[in-house]
Amino acid sequence: MSRTLSICTCLLALSSILLVGQPSIGARLSALRLDLTEQQLYSVSDGTRRLLQALPEPVDLYWFYSSQAARDLPDLRSYAQRVETLLREYERLGNGRIRLHIIDPGAFSAEEAQAQAYGLQAWSPGEGALPVYFGLAAVDAQHHQQSIAFFAQDQQSLLEYQISRLLHALSSPQRPALGLLSRLPLSGGFDPQSGNRRPTWAVFEDIRQAFDVRELDLELQKIPEDLKLLLLVHPRRLSQETLYAIDQFVLRGGRLLVFVDPYSEADPGDQYFGIPSKDKSSDLAPLLQAWGVHLNAGSTLGDGDYGQFVNLGPQADAVWQPTALSLPTAAINQHEVSTAGLHRINLSTAGVLEPLKGSRMSFNPLLHSSESSTLFKTARFDHLPDPKQLAREMKASGQRLTLAARLQGPARSAFPERAGAEEGGLVAADSINLIVVADTDLLRDSLWMERQEHYGQQQAVAWADNGAFVLNALDSLAGSEALIGLRSRGNYHRSFTRVEQMQRQAQASVVQMQGALEKRLEETERQLAVLQDDATQADAGTPERQAREAAFAEERQAIVTEMRRVARDMTVQVDRLGLQLKLANIALIPALLSLFGLCLWGVRWWRRR
């Protein structure tokens, strides 16, 4: 290790000498623009490039950043550097359509008054501290303006989307209207069971920022004519009138995003004489059948590759659950506009969608399982005394099962007789467009984000792309394709896929060993119970009993030792991978810079000769 550090020190010294001794090299390096981050954090996407090219007139961007007030906030300063770099990239690609103005508003200054006039909000990092402005205002030639009041640090992954949406809003100031029909309390409200107020779900807050949300009555008989987009969440026990209204809405060209679920953990269940109902399923069966898709409401998906360890109680140890799914990039359709660029989506007790034979609808899977998947009966989750039992029963089906899909194509009404008899009723349509997701739990906060305390304020930190998936799906149905794919870019909470693969392999071995140990424990205890029933008290210390007990103890110790060995091997592999990454960061970059400098020096030397 010391030898490696010595080599790295020499390379760094050589790089410094070359750069200092050859000023032209440093100048050329500063002129280079190369974004080496995997998700291109300091570059813009193709959607933003199209948006900038389509701007009808120049736009002035006023970026307000209190650099002096934020000098003791390293996290904010780091984020501000990224914001400035990205804004300069917008200005460069705008070719004169974007004019960037950087303003440092001091306390009680004219610049502060200007920031307040644009609707920017000041934030105080502590008592007695100077206010910090960290927002953006956009003004077009007609003096229309839009603003981002404050760049929240918990939304760094949405940075490009926020800026591009700001520019898009100048030309389209009206947000698309969205009808919401939900059995789950997305918008919060009062909980009659606990007597407390429910918090608003984070995904609903994001939806409300992008769309004009109108919450609809669950017993509606007709969807308003001006609505073109409908979000349907957990449609459990809808009336025939409501089902018919949704049917006609889709046939008339309305776009639909629907979340159904064979077992919704977020559903508190209805109360019947004080007894909660065990029915937590929703399938929308009449309409799905008419659209050429089937959801098996009695089955829940388990996956041996994508399962996770979960805590089933505040004091309980984490238990590996095949029904708690964490879908990686390989399980997400990267060729579909609503899921391209997403890296991690979490689901729980999800269902499976299957296309019906003979259907003319196009069935395009968006999310799917691995080949190590199987189905469990949903009724088992009402009372599961041993959560480890599901892991022991896992048997790979060898098939990739669909969890979410886009449906497009010709369709017939689920109520053809009624539609044909009513004036204006549609019996069929040449083309419909909707997305069906067989899980509602992915909308829950706990599956994709967490609240953290930051400088005395609560902030939401996303560690999965559940929210981006929902918003992308709605944008794709609403037709705002220029903004799709921007939300998930720049996720700072990255996962190490190699490390996770090692952990999954070790976890699978540990789960298998635990199952074997428990079976051997049960068999040994049964044999001991038989001996205790057949033997008298005087036989308690016989050699046979002692030999069996000693054999059991040795067997248990051997399995425990093997489990520790697997865990130790996993730790060694992870440490080895971490050392390789450190060596690459320490040695590779200086070596590349040194090589580049030597090449330039060699070219100059050859030309002088």
Q: Do domains 33-171 and 177-447 have the same CATH topology?
A: no
Q: In percent, how much of the chain has pLDDT > 90?
A: 42
Q: In percent, how much of the chain has pLDDT > 70?
A: 72
Pick the CATH number of 177-447 from 1.25.40, 3.10.350, 1.10.287, 3.40.50: 3.40.50
Give per-residue pLDDT as tens, 177-214. 999 999 999 988 777 666 677 889 999 998 998 899 99
Give per-residue pLDDT as tens, 21-37. 454 444 444 445 555 55
Burial 585-605 (b: 16+ CB within 10 A, else e): ebbeebbebbebbeebeeeee
- 33-171, what's its fold? Glutaredoxin (3.40.30)
Provide mean pLDDT across the span 375-386: 85
Of residues 492 and 427, more confidently modeled: 427
Lowest mean pLDDT among 155-164, 190-199, 224-233: 190-199
Taking the model in full, what pTM does it have? 0.65
CB 398, CB 371: distance < 8 Å: yes
Provide mean pLDDT across the span 476-503: 59
The closest alpha carbon to 187, from 168, 174, 170, 204, belongs to 204
Of residues 224 and 561, more confidently modeled: 224
- Is residue 375 predicted with pLDDT exceeding 60? yes
Give the pLDDT score at 174: 77
Give the pLDDT score at 391: 85
Provide mean pLDDT across the span 383-406: 87
Q: Which residues contact 407 (CB under 8 A, 6 or more apart)?
A: 291, 292, 293, 361, 362, 363, 364, 432, 433, 434, 435, 436
- Is residue 79 predicted with pLDDT exceeding 50? yes
- What's the DSSP call for residue 487? T
- Is residue 567 predicted with pLDDT exceeding 70? no
One-letter amino acid at 292 equals G
Give the pLDDT score at 197: 79
Average pLDDT, the chain: 81
**CB-count burial class (<10 Å; 0-12, 13-18, 19+) for 416:** middle
Residue 273: pLDDT band (50, 70, 90) is low
Domain ranges of the chain: 33-171, 177-447, 496-532
Cα–Cα distance measured from residue 369 to residue 375, given in angstroms and rounded to the nearest whole number: 11
- Is residue 514 predicted with pLDDT exceeding 60? no
Give the pLDDT score at 421: 93
One-letter amino acid at 447 equals L
